[in-house]
């Protein structure tokens, strides 16, 4: 028996088809509350938290590519530049200016 088999048997590692479908953009015919519970059980994160992380990653990629802070905030779907700054400091650990500076030197990725 492998470690992964042990994790699955102990229900510490799960694969939920509903979670996979929602992440792929396919809505499910179940209540929002059920979807939220299944997300939490499957990975310990809510769908909203996963979406926020993905948006922060998208903004980081844009900044590394040399996109301006204002344009990166808009393209990643933030309300404004300060909203993006708070999110990136929280999820990535750096300010947008720092990410852009490191990205231009090829040091971040």
Please state the rounded mean pLDDT for residues 81-106: 90
Same domain, 62 and 36: no
**Predicted confidence (pLDDT) per residue in 55-79, tens digit:** 999 999 999 999 999 999 999 999 9
CA 63 to mean position of chain CA atoms: 16
Q: Token pair 């990643």 is at which residue?
A: 76
CB 76 within 8 A of CB 55: yes
Same domain, 80 and 31: no
Same domain, 37 and 53: no
Same domain, 99 and 61: yes
Residue 9's pLDDT band (cuts 50, 70, 90): confident
Same domain, 71 and 33: no
Backbone CA torsion sign across 93, 95, 98, 100: positive
CB 42 within 8 A of CB 16: yes
Structure pTM? 0.74
Same domain, 39 and 51: no
Indicate the SS3 state at residue 107. coil
Q: Please report, for the domain that includes residue 66, its CATH number.
A: 1.10.10.60
Q: SS3 sequence, 40-87?
A: HHHHCCCHHHHHHHHHHHHHHHHHHCCCCHHHHHHHHCCCCHHHHHHH
Same domain, 52 and 100: yes
Q: Token pair 């929280």 is at which residue?
A: 90
Residue 106's pLDDT band (cuts 50, 70, 90): low
The answer, yes or no, to whether residue 109 has pLDDT greater than 60, is: no
**Count of structural domains within the chain:** 2
| Average predicted confidence (pLDDT) for the chain | 88
State the residue range of the domain holding 55: 47-105
């Amino acid at each position: 028996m492998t470690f992964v088999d042990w994790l699955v048997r102990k229900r510490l590692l799960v694969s939920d088809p509903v979670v996979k479908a929602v992440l792929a953009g396919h809505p499910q015919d179940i209540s929002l509350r059920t979807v939220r519970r299944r997300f939490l059980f499957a990975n310990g994160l809510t769908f909203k938290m996963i979406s926020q992380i993905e948006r922060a990653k998208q903004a980081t990629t844009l900044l590394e590519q040399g996109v301006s802070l204002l344009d990166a905030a808009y393209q990643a779907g933030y309300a404004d530049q300060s909203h993006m700054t708070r999110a990136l400091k929280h999820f990535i650990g750096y300010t947008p200016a720092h990410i852009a500076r490191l990205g231009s030197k090829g040091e971040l990725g």
